[in-house]
Chain A
């Protein structure tokens, strides 16, 4: 029954037939309506919301990294289209509300969405705001984290109603260090920023190095003094000062840059004392997705996204699309839009989703983290993909990256 509503639209090219075509489209539309009306599967409306918290930030070092106004919302629009096309065969419609607010207004915005009856949320917020919003949404709601990489959200601070499509800092650091191990670049030099997120990232690299048996031969903290960034004089200063700052580094094969604050890392590749490859926050960067990816059918995703938005995809768009596709896939397979039923299915062995990464993505049912490969991207091409060949795990090679079950203090999923 579900399929019988999809009718022929014989749009012959040329003026004489146009009326005919329109009439048939109308008939087809009526057929769809009639089918849904009388069909056994009553129309099911799946409503979700994307809540994006916008923080005051400085301009990025590179203007290529300027955040588009419709970040994440564009991914939601594509997800609604994709889910809606599938839903048309099953009598399901998808509508996603998109809201951007400053941090102080996030709670009120969430309350309004809840009052509208929405119980499926994709949230792009920093750790503390995300945690508070997830708690505020309540156990009956399902929240997807599409931004915060903090490891403790997957560890002791995990929440049962909070699933993470965003990779954790630990997954990203492991992806980079696995590549270094594969390359036999065993001596790592860690340069990190002075802000808390930079230090957390540095910790993740230290753990990754220990995990995969590489040595951090030296470290250097790059203090964020609120410098001049990309002004003319700033560039001159960087060229003169940065090599001098790095001249006493011990012998190393590669530099790991831990600069979550976007203060210095982009300058590292060509301003060192000793010329070495840079990975991490600059050079070879670990990302969930990038706009150059063509493998695994990604070209189709890129083209659909670009046709819809007239720009290249960003990680926030992809992760939002992914979260909503996870919802769509679970609705398709379960026939339910109830957050509890969807969550149960998503965490079950039956769930998997194709998302242009060459293998099915699933959730870790013990902390709600989505297993996914990490792309190593140099700004133009996907240089490599982690997990690297030869890194094995008893559950999935994807579990060689990030917090593993025995290490996790997450109890909300038991």
Chain B
């Protein structure tokens, strides 16, 4: 007897289409491990070692290779998504923190936090193609859907740098609020969201067809009973149709839900402690949040805009990526 209607539905669908179960990979910064979760049963399948201080995490378009920024090893470690064996490393430049993979799966654009660089690494030839000097403490990385621009945010310079993927030159710099952590394009590339952790805002930029950004708005947050200082936006994800923007609010332990049209905050979903990064499951049914201080992830039902469960992972979870369906193209923005 299956009493829970949701579970019954899930099982029915699972039976019809086994591909729906995807692996969720979570990097545990302090635990030096990756936790693997099944997106169907929400069971933790494994926890495997991933080098020193794993933070940014992403996956190849075919879902077979997991890339991890092993920050204190100064390289990117590559793991087999089935066996969890390390299959190689990629040169990344020092202290890689966060990266974004080109839609084709090559190259990898890496933010080197200690050295004010963005490193471009060929994932097949396993060598560095270019190093682009950017502002102080580069962190957030995003790639435009047409692949023409990589955006990097520098946390102490407080800029979003727009790097052309053709010649690796910076074409635009946009000043945003204090400590920009994350950048995220909409699926159609017409808009870019940049979160500012200490500024407490999300900058909204309209992107012209040639990729030129224009700062048009800043989203602010307010939760009764929570000191404004603790509303610290970090991870940002946008639904495919652009109608909803989810923003992780760090020590406020909430994910803000924003209307993509009006840019108004609709709701705040309570999740685990110090929520930083977010990732959708491939159909965008669920949003996974990493909660660094409660050592768990929260699963949000995207349609219902409700947290449905939390899953214990390793020590201080930082980044998260979800394996694409076998036929899927990757969501390039899933980088940890």
Contacts and interface: CB of A to CB of B under 8 A. Distances in A.
A144 B315 CA distance: 41
A126 B202 CA distance: 42
B159 A10 contact: no
A3 B161 contact: yes
A354 B114 contact: no
Interface string A313-357: 000000000000100010011000000000000000000111000
Given A9-B133, A86-B136, A332-B175, A359 B161 contact: no
Interface in B280-294: none
A4 B176 CA distance: 18
A225 to B, nearest CB: 46
Contact of B173 (A2, A8, A360, A397): A2
Interface stretch (A195-203, A257-265, A300-308): A300-308
Contacts of B129: 10, 12
B226 to A, nearest CB: 12
A360 B229 CA distance: 8
Interface residues on B, range: 35 or more
A300 B168 CA distance: 25
Interface string B199-216: 110000000000000000
Contact of B198 (A2, A10, A11, A360): A360
Contacts of B242: none
A303 B211 CA distance: 35
A10 B131 CA distance: 6
B168 A10 contact: yes
A85 B197 CA distance: 21
Nearest to B274: A295
A177 to B, nearest CB: 20
A75 to B, nearest CB: 14
Interface string A46-88: 0000000000000000000000000000000000001001101
Contacts of B198: 352, 354, 358-360
Contacts of A11: 128, 130-131
Nearest to B168: A8
Contacts of B131: 9-11
B82 interface: no
B130 A8 contact: yes
A7 B161 CA distance: 12
Interface in B123-181: 127-137, 154-159, 161-162, 167-173, 175, 177-179
Nearest to A21: B131
Interface in A369-411: 396-397
Given A307-B114, A397-B227, A85 B168 contact: no
B161 to A, nearest CB: 7
A53 to B, nearest CB: 29
Interface in B227-281: 227, 229-230, 251
A153 B116 CA distance: 38
Nearest to B174: A3
A3 B170 contact: yes
B19 to A, nearest CB: 39
Contacts of B159: 86, 89
Contact of B128 (A8, A12, A86, A88): A12
A10 B116 CA distance: 15
B49 interface: no
B156 A82 contact: yes
Of A82, A325, A333, A359, the most chain B CB neighbours within 10 A belong to A359
Interface string A1-39: 011101111111100000000000000000000000000
A6 B199 contact: no
A138 interface: no
B114 A303 contact: yes
Nearest to B132: A8
A10 B130 contact: yes
A4 B171 contact: yes
A297 interface: yes
Contacts of B127: 12-13
Interface string B45-70: 00000000000000000000000000
Contacts of A3: 161-162, 170-173
Nearest to A85: B136
Contacts of B173: 2-3, 89-90
Nearest to A2: B173
A297 B179 contact: yes
25 contacts: A3-B161, A3-B171, A3-B172, A3-B173, A6-B169, A7-B169, A8-B167, A9-B130, A9-B131, A9-B132, A11-B130, A12-B128, A82-B136, A86-B136, A86-B156, A86-B157, A297-B137, A297-B179, A300-B137, A307-B114, A353-B178, A354-B156, A354-B178, A354-B179, A397-B227
Given A3-B172, A358-B251, 11 more contacts: A10-B129, A10-B130, A85-B133, A86-B158, A297-B179, A304-B114, A332-B175, A352-B198, A354-B178, A354-B198, A360-B199
Closest 4 CB pairs of A and B: A354-B198, A8-B168, A3-B173, A354-B178
